[in-house]
Amino acid sequence: MAERLLEVDGVSKEYRPGQIGGGTLHGDLTTWFARIRGKEDPNSKLGVDTVNVKTGKFLALNDVSFNVDRGDALGVIGLNGAGKSTLLKLISQITAPTSGEIRIRGRVASLLEIGTGFHHELTGRDNIYLNGAILGMNRAEVRSKIKEIIEFSEIEQFIDTPVKRYSSGMYVKLAFAVAAHLAPDILICDEVLAVGDLAFQQKCLNKMSDVARDGRAVLYVSHNMRTVSQLCNRGIYLEKGALKYDGSVEHSIELYGGSGLRNTDRDLDHMDRPLKRGDTMRMLRMVIHDCPNLEYQMDTHMDFTLTSVANVSDPHLRVRIMLYSSMAAPIAMTQTEPFEVTVGETFTRKIRMPLDGIAPGEYGMKISLISATPQGLSCYYDTILDVGHFVIVDDPAITSGFVWQERLWGNMRLKPLEML
């Protein structure tokens, strides 16, 4: 049985947003008045689902429990605001839990934010020794690793330059090289690899795989489900601070993608929004026609009706849809021609979305109302990140008998090659 490196037992983390002050007397007074009436704080950037309007407390994590053993590569998956970064900060001992207990056996190296753990006035070389000391290593132990760290970071010529002069990409390269090579028992990486170039990202994924194979553990957070699937052998899914699933990485990714959202009549008014812009425009309802199971043949189309309300006038309004693969990677965008709406209007548009060229598989949709002027200026009025899912069914007559391999071939199916 593998040795247990991490135990997270009934951990919760509670914050009190706005306790320090809102920056202005007017802001503080409106916040206070909203709270005594039991209303949502109009100055809060957090939604009503996460803040108790009576106490003003924000529960970032709620009774989370799981274990990590040697050899685990754990993908921590969830939408923005699910509690992923808070969880990693607790495990990294940057902040303490409000309740519950975290038991760690061994060294923890964390790569959470660009520049974390670095002293800006010191050189890259000095920061390597500093991070080694933080991990409890002596100077001789760090010296034995420093050549390997510098080579991996690809910034040899700048290693004796103060890191305050580094670009964000250089920061990430050195920070990952330090975290991965100073022999941590648990390596934690939160999203920052998105800053680096694609070649270096792949290099980091390979190194994290090596760390797990060497009998250590990796905790990895990313919204790129392709990299999560490639690296991790297990996944946990967080939703609004609660642990909803702990098991296979494949099923965790399915939960993140919302595979259950196969409903043809969706009440959009009560779905979560990533941003609030005063409800200048708001989508209310989406009805998908003539396909009750949302399974489409290749090279067909989807017809749907979208009902929305406008609280401003706009002559350049468009409906935009982004399509995502089952690995949550964006694959395509399409939008309507501009149309005009007037203030106070509740408007309904029937829309046809072509599905030509999309390979067999399951796909998710993000839908937005945007204003796009002829000069190229854009403004997003309303966006729903995951409005629903549909399936493109394999058609052997079109794919010439091939079973489509999404991981190898992608999600766009080009027309057959022509012999000239």
Residue 386 C-beta-side C-alpha neighbours within 13 Å: 20
The burial of 329, by beta-carbon neighbours within 10 Å (0-12 exposed, 13-18 middle, 19 or more buried), is given as middle
Q: For residues 337 and 410, what is the distance between their CA atoms, to the nearest angstrom?
A: 28
49 pLDDT higher than 50: no
Give the pLDDT band (50/70/90) at residue 138.
Answer: confident
Tokens of 185: 């028992």
33 pLDDT higher than 70: no
Q: Give the least confident one: 1-5, 141-145, 342-346.
A: 1-5
pLDDT, residue 259, reads 43
pLDDT, residue 386, reads 75
pTM of this structure: 0.59
> pLDDT digits over 397-407, tens only?
666 666 677 66
Closest CA to 102 of 116, 87, 112: 87
99 pLDDT higher than 90: yes
Give the pLDDT band (50/70/90) at residue 114.
Answer: low
Q: What's the alpha-carbon Rg for the chain, to the nearest Å? A: 25
pLDDT, residue 182, reads 80
Is residue 318 within 8 A of residue 367, CB to CB? The reply is no
Q: For residues 237 and 242, what is the distance between their CA atoms, to the nearest angstrom?
A: 9
Per the model's pLDDT, the better-predicted residue between 37 and 188 turns out to be: 188
Is residue 92 within 8 A of residue 6, CB to CB? The reply is no
Q: Give the least confident one: 107-111, 149-153, 320-324.
A: 107-111
Per the model's pLDDT, the better-predicted residue between 52 and 173 turns out to be: 173
When pLDDT is averaged across residues 380-403 and rounded to a whole number, the result is 77
Per the model's pLDDT, the better-predicted residue between 26 and 269 turns out to be: 269
69 pLDDT higher than 80: yes
Q: Give the least confident one: 34-38, 76-80, 338-342.
A: 34-38
Residue 91 C-beta-side C-alpha neighbours within 13 Å: 37
80 pLDDT higher than 60: yes
DSSP state of 358: B
**DSSP assignment string, 40-106:** PPTT-SS-TTTB-TTT--EEEEEEEEEEEETT-EEEEE--TTSSHHHHHHHHTTSS--SEEEEEE-S
159 pLDDT higher than 80: yes
Widest CA span of the chain, in angstroms? Answer: 76
293 pLDDT higher than 60: yes
- What are the chain's domains? 4-257 (3.40.50.300), 265-409 (2.70.50.60)
Number of H helices, E strands in the chain: 10, 19
309 pLDDT higher than 80: yes
Q: Give the least confident one: 88-102, 288-302, 368-382.
A: 368-382
Per the model's pLDDT, the better-predicted residue between 288 and 388 turns out to be: 288
Give the pLDDT band (50/70/90) at residue 110.
Answer: confident
When pLDDT is averaged across residues 371-377 and rounded to a whole number, the result is 75
> pLDDT digits over 2-23, tens only?
789 999 999 999 876 555 444 5
Share of the chain above pLDDT 70, in %: 78
Q: What is the mean pLDDT of the chain?
A: 81
47 pLDDT higher than 50: no
Q: For residues 415 and 356, what is the distance between their CA atoms, to the nearest angstrom?
A: 10
pLDDT, residue 273, reads 62
When pLDDT is averaged across residues 195-214 and rounded to a whole number, the result is 79
67 pLDDT higher than 80: yes
pLDDT, residue 192, reads 62
> pLDDT digits over 252-290, tens only?
887 776 544 456 777 777 665 655 555 788 898 899 988
DSSP state of 123: B
